Each structure stands twice: as structure tokens, then as C-alpha cells.
Amino acid sequence: MGRMVDGNWTTEWYQPDDDGRFVRPDTVFHDWVRADGSTDFAPEAGRYHLYVAYACPWAHRTLLMRHFKGLTDAIDISVVDPFMGDEGWWFNDADPANIPDPIHGATYLREVYKAADSHYTGRVTVPILWDKKHNTIVNNESRDIIRMFDHEFTGVANDRDLAPPELVESIDEMITANYEPINNGVYRSGFATSQKAYEEAVYEVFEGLDRCEDILSQQRYLCGNELTEADICLFTTLWRFDAVYFTHFKCNIRRIHDYPNLWNYVLDIYQQPGVRDTLNLDHTKRHYFGSHDTINPTLIVPVGPDVDFDAPHDRGRFNN
Ligand SMILES: N[C@@H](CCC(=O)N[C@@H](CS)C(=O)NCC(=O)O)C(=O)O
């Protein structure tokens, strides 16, 4: 793992703050594809390329939205290898689930960042939305990318709206409310380097989950009875939770399986058409357990848990 400084790669782990807390660095590329022509990035089929890791919950959000918006033919993807060592994310033809980089023929993902900005300073993260016309990164922040796919690919994407006008404010509030305690909270728990920082984070994770469990005891999805962007953002963390975060990140007060509503909600979303094509449990486990030698020095990847994501769920009860 490492980062770029003025276009050069340096190998380093995340730097915790003075109290051992994990601090997630901000992403740097924040341009927008706009349907109204107000930016240099117009929505066009075949123009944009998405770089992802199947392991990554942030990248997973973009794969889900690309699927739900019918953008799979319009936006091609590259998939990095699940192992992230000293060289960072890389492309590896030997794994049939990986998809190489057709634009730069890159070996390392950092080459894509360098192609966008030869003096780039920052982490080399997925997801990345690349523009083939201007040869640059449009945006590397998952929340922005899913909103772009949802609202700005007019004429390219389908008309399904996962943040409709009457709900968009509550959806944004929900995404923000879940980000720090849950989506980022599992990382703050797992990457903490002091007992205090770990406990601070792990209790917040479960307060967040308890709150969502309560909401989902009253309605099918987080913002009503239709699936929205808020559900995409929560689902990618929940789906990984029992297999990875519970053990690897020490988020072990409860499993998602122990929450009746959260668990059935995961099954509900997992079983929707096309969703299973956006995820890869083998890559997910191999990435976390097999790459984070600071928290799993043997790099042994556990074989379990034995989970049936196709088990029947009870979420249809809210449709009556
Ligand atoms: N805020 C970003 C976070 C992206 C991110 O941190 N992705 C992780 C993978 S789960 C990554 O690529 N990490 C590599 C690194 O930090 O060196 C987003 O939501 O898109």
C-alpha cells in the first residue's frame, strides 16, 4: 500500500492521528459529468471508463448504480487484482475475474492517476471514472459517481430514478448519517491503532446499525418502500460485514445475521436481478485478509462463514 507524492510512488501504510484513529484522506478529482452542458464532460455512451476493485465497498456502489441505470454497455470497466501490496492496486491477467486496463495498458493503477496528473499527490484509490475524450480522471469519489450515473447520463441511462426529487434531501441526509458510523466506521474500527480509538469506532458502528435496524423494521428500504441511493450506499458495507468486518476489523458485537431486519434487507437487495454480478466474495475476502498484513500478519484468508444469500427473505411484507 502506498501513495503518490508529486507523481512518484511511495510505500506507506495509513498514518493514524496522535490518538491512533484512522483518518481517511479526501479524494482529489471532483469534476462532474453534466447533462445540461455546464461542464466539459457530457454524458456519452462509450466515452467513460470505470476502474474498480470487487473487494471495495465504495467501488461496489458504482457497479450497482451502473447496473441499476442500465449503463453496463455504455460504460466499460477494469477490475484490479484483489491483492494490494506495496505497489498498491494492480492488474493481473492470471485471475480470470480481473479485467485489464484497455486504455493505458497499465500494470499498476497508479499509472492511471499519473496519466491524469503527472504531479498527482494522494492515494491511489478505486473507484475512478475516466474520460477517454479529455484523457483524465473525472471523479474518484463514489458518492459523486453514483449521483452522476443516476441523474446526469440523460439519454444514455434508463429513466429509473434512485434519488427522486421528493426524496433527494432525505436520501442525502441518510447517506451522510450512515457514512461516518457505518461505512467509514468499520474501517475506523479495523485500522485503529489504540484501544481507545477502536472502542470509540466500534460502538459507533453498532449504534449506526441499531438505528438502521429500527428504520428497516418500519419500511422496506431506508427512505421508504423503494430502493434508493441510500440503500446502495449501506448495502455494500452490510454485504461484506459478516464475512470480513466482523472478524478482520473486530466489529464483533453482533453479526448482520443477528439483526432480523438488516439481514433480510441484505438478502432482499442481493436477490434483485443483476446484483450478484456486481460482487465477488472471493475477491473481497482475499483483498482484506490477504493484503492487510498490519492487522492479519499471516495473511491467511478464512474459509467461512457459510452464508446463504439466496435464503428466502421477509421484506415483501411491506408491500401490502
Ligand atoms: N472516498 C472514496 C474512498 C475510496 C477508497 O478508499 N477506496 C479504497 C478501496 S476500498 C482504496 O482504493 N484504497 C487504497 C488506498 O487507500 O491506498 C470513495 O468513496 O470513493
Dist CA 37 CA 234 (whole Å): 31
Q: Do 98 and 7 lie in a common domain?
A: yes
Rg, Å, the chain Cα set: 19
pLDDT 10s digits, 93-105: 999 999 999 999 9
- Distance (angstroms) between ligand 1 centre and the Cα of 22 equals 13
Residues 132 and 248 in one domain: no
Q: How far apart are CA 96 and CA 94, in angstroms?
A: 6
Confidence of residue 302 (pLDDT cuts 50, 70, 90): very high
Question: Can you give the pLDDT at residue 13?
Answer: 83
The answer to whether residues 277 and 203 belong to one domain is yes
| pLDDT for position 15 | 87
Sheet strands side by side (includes 48-52): 76-79, 48-52, 128-131, 136-139
- Is 180 a member of any domain? yes
Q: From the alpha carbon of 53, which atom of ligand 1 is closest?
A: 9
Is 173 in the same domain as 315? yes
State pLDDT tens for residues 1-48. 899 999 999 998 888 999 999 999 999 999 999 999 999 999 999 999
229 lines ligand 1 (CB under 6 A): no
Closest residue to atom 6 of ligand 1, CA basis: 125
Q: Where among 120, 151, 182 does a domain terminate?
A: 151
Of the residues 51, 54, 187, 198, only one is catalytic, namely: 187
The whole-number average pLDDT for the span 48-69 is 98
- What cell does 90 get? 494492480
Mean pLDDT for 278-301 is 96
pLDDT at position 60 over 70: yes
CA distance 304 to 211: 28
Helices 195-216, 168-178: inter-axial angle, 10-degree rounding = 150
Measure 166 CA to ligand 1 centroid, in angstroms: 31
Looking at the fold, whether 19 and 83 belong to one and the same domain comes out as yes
Q: Is the peptide bond before 305 cis (omega within 30 degrees of 0)?
A: yes
- Is the minimum distance from the CB of 125 to ligand 1 under 6 angstroms? yes
Query: Residue 12: what pLDDT?
Result: 84
Tell whether 176 and 305 lie within a shared domain. yes
251 is known as an active-site residue: no
**If you average pLDDT over residues 279-303, what whole number do you get?**
96
| Residue 159 confidence (pLDDT) above 80 | yes
Question: What does the alpha-carbon distance between residue 260 and residue 277 come to, in Å, rounded to a whole number?
Answer: 25
Q: Do 71 and 133 belong together in one domain?
A: yes
Overall number of domains in the chain: 2
Q: What is the pLDDT, as a whole number, of residue 188?
A: 98
Range of the domain at 116: 2-151
Residue 1, pLDDT score: 85
Candidates 171, 168, 133, 184; CA nearest to 22 is 184
Query: 312 C-alpha to center of ligand 1: Å?
Result: 33
Burial of 303 (0-12, 13-18, 19+ CB in 10 A): exposed
C-alpha 250 to ligand 1 mean position (Å): 20
Q: Identify whether 7 is part of a domain.
A: yes
In a domain, 30, yes or no: yes
User: What CATH number does residue 10 fall under?
Assistant: 3.40.30.10
CATH number of domain containing 268: 1.20.1050.10
The residue from 48, 51, 54, 56 that is catalytic is 56
pLDDT digits (tens, 9 = 90+) for 181-237: 999 999 999 999 999 999 999 999 999 999 999 999 999 999 999 999 999 999 999
- Percent of the chain that is helix, strand, coil (3-state, to 5): 40, 10, 50
Give the whole-angstrom CA distance, residue 190 versus residue 296.
11
Distance CA 67, CA 62 (A): 8
Residues 183, 254: one domain?
A: yes
Q: Which atom of ligand 1 is nearest to the CA of 56?
A: 10
Provide the mean pLDDT of the chain: 97
pLDDT at 286 over 90: yes
The DSSP 8-state label assigned to residue 253 in this structure reads S
Q: How confident is the model at residue 319 (pLDDT cuts 50, 70, 90)?
A: confident
Residue keyed to cell 448504480: 65
- Residue from 26, 58, 280 whose mutation best tests the ligand 1 pocket (most atoms within 8 A of CB): 58
Q: In which band, very low, low, confident or very high, does the pLDDT at 164 lie, cut at 50, 70 and 90? A: very high
Residue 143 shares a structural domain with residue 180: no
32 occurs within a structural domain: yes
Over residues 82-141, the pLDDT tens digits come to: 999 999 999 999 999 999 999 999 999 999 999 999 999 999 999 999 999 999 999 999
Cβ–ligand 1 distance for 126 under 6 Å, the answer yes
Is the separation of the CB atoms in 32 and 41 below 8 Å?
Answer: yes
Given CA atoms 310, 77, 143, 151 in this order, what sign does their dihedral have? Answer: negative
Q: Are 178 and 261 in a shared domain? A: yes
Atom index in ligand 1 nearest the CA of residue 141 equals 20
Q: What is the pLDDT of residue 320?
A: 63
Identify the pLDDT of residue 141. 98
